[in-house]
Amino acid sequence: MSTSRVALPEIENKLRISFSQQLYLLEVLLYVSVGILLSAAAAVALFEAGAVLWRGIAAGAIGSYALLVLDQLLLVLMLVEILHTIRISVRSKELMLVEPFLIVGLIASIRRLLVITLQASKLMEQGHASAEAAIAFRNAMIELSLLGFLVLVLVFSIYLMHRTSYREEPVR
């Protein structure tokens, strides 16, 4: 009777280990699949940035195309940073790191800042003095202010993480 009591926890432990290993393999497979899709998306976005740059050079209006190229390149940087996070997750069996997500958030915020700036400048170039244009401009300025604050918060968070991580490392 005592052997069955001892065998039951051992079987349960083996089942937990086996199930955990299978879930880990599934997780790695999903990470690899997402990584492949992110790589493809980054390659397409990079190709699109090159195509936009080429159109700007061919049209002789590189200035008007530069912001669109920068927007595409920032999208590529976001995808690469997410891909880097996935690579770290696959290589280590640890929890996901927070810093890459802060960097992705920072890149996304800067990207949105640039897009809003481009839209606001086009709105001002067109010279619409309608009430709708004034409301759109006011909303763009509010969004720019919030995004500027978000960029400051993200940069400060990354700074604090770097500062804390250096202090936590053991001195040899």
Residues 58 and 61: their CA atoms lie apart, in Å, by 8
E strand or H helix at 97: none
How many structural domains is the chain composed of?
1
Contact, 79 vs 36, CB < 8 A? Answer: no
Collapsing DSSP to helix, strand or coil, 96 comes out as: coil
Token pair 């880097």: residue: 84
Q: How far is CA 70 from CA 45, 50, 107, 138, in A?
A: 11, 10, 11, 25
The DSSP code for 154 is: H
Q: What pLDDT, on a 0 to 100 scale, did the predictor assign at position 19?
A: 87
Q: Which of 70, 96, 78, 87 is nearest to 28 (CA)?
A: 87
Give the long-range contacts of residues 67-74, CB within 8 A, separation 24 or more.
67/114, 67/117, 67/118, 68/118, 70/114, 71/111, 71/114, 71/115, 71/118, 72/45, 72/46, 72/48, 73/46, 73/49, 74/107, 74/108, 74/110, 74/111, 74/114
Q: Which of 106, 110, 118, 27 is nearest to 64 (CA)?
A: 118
- Mean pLDDT, the chain, as a whole number? 81
Q: What pLDDT, on a 0 to 100 scale, did the predictor assign at position 150?
A: 92
Q: Which of 105, 99, 97 is nearest to 149 (CA)?
A: 105
pLDDT digits (tens, 9 = 90+) for 45-74: 999 999 999 998 888 887 778 878 888 888
Write out the chain's pLDDT in tens, 172 residues. Answer: 555 566 778 888 888 888 888 888 888 888 889 889 999 999 999 999 999 999 988 888 877 788 788 888 888 888 888 888 778 777 776 555 677 778 888 888 888 888 888 777 777 776 666 777 778 888 888 999 999 999 999 999 989 888 876 555 554 4
Residue 159 lies in domain: 2-168
